[in-house]
Amino acid sequence: MNEPVADDQIAGLLAAILKQARQAVQQAHEAVSLDPTLGLAFATEIRARGVELFVVQLTSLFTHMNLAVDTALARQLADQALQKFPNSAVVRRDRAVLLGLLGDARSAEREIGEAISLDPMSGKNYLMRATFRAQQSDCWAANNDVKQALALKQPVDDYTRQVFSLADCEMATRR
């Protein structure tokens, strides 16, 4: 897993990952079809579609291939899940990730704010909102979220550190 990948191997590796991501989307969609009353099934499909979108973006970046993914369908699913499960923090969190991947950081921040109001003890939600806020150069609010996550014993992950660094936000290290 930690072995170097040669440039000529990148396209094949990303193609294999994309194939797995698309299989995950299909399996998650089948789960929703089997039981459309289960919010976790919807959240799983939203997450799978987000992963698919991310892998397509990476593949396009590294291989210059113009791959397509139906972002309207992903957004429609996320909206449908929200209508069915408006009080599910998991659905709201996964919807926020998808919105962020679609480039809608403001809506993603609002959605994760709703997840926080539904589950205020989730440090993971605060870290996610911190990344959305840092991406919008709101370093002060992002740091308040990091402090809240730390107070809830949620460790800061490498992704959050990278987002802060790219946004030129200095990260709080204490509660």
Give me the phi and psi of 138, to 5 degrees please.
-100, 70
- Looking at every residue in the chain, the average pLDDT score rounds to 88
Could you tell me the pLDDT band of residue 9, with boundaries at 50, 70 and 90? Answer: confident
Q: Which residue has the higher pLDDT, 174 or 94?
A: 94
Q: What share of the chain in percent tops pLDDT 90?
A: 50
| Axis crossing angle, helix 123-135 with helix 139-151, rounded to the nearest 10 | 170
**Can you say whether the dihedral through the CA atoms of 72, 67, 31, 132 is positive or negative?**
negative
Let me know: does 91 contact 50? Beta carbons within 8 Å: no
pLDDT of residue 175: 52
pTM comes to: 0.79
Is residue 1's pLDDT more than 60? no
- Domain(s) of CATH 1.25.40.10: residues in the chain: 11-119
Cβ neighbors of 63 (< 8 A, separation 6 or more) are: 10, 11, 14
Which two three-digit tokens encode residue 26? 């299909």
What residue spans of 102-157 are helical by DSSP H?
A: 105-118, 123-135, 139-151
Q: Which residue has the higher pLDDT, 66 or 94?
A: 94
Let me know: does 114 contact 82? Beta carbons within 8 Å: no
pLDDT of residue 171: 86
Let me know: does 142 contact 164? Beta carbons within 8 Å: yes
pLDDT digits (tens, 9 = 90+) for 38-60: 888 889 989 898 888 888 888 88
pLDDT digits (tens, 9 = 90+) for 100-158: 888 888 899 999 999 999 999 999 999 999 999 998 899 999 999 999 999 999 999 89
Look at the domain 11-119 and name its fold.
Answer: 1.25.40
Let me know: does 161 contact 171? Beta carbons within 8 Å: yes
- Other beta carbons within 10 angstroms of residue 12's beta carbon come to 11
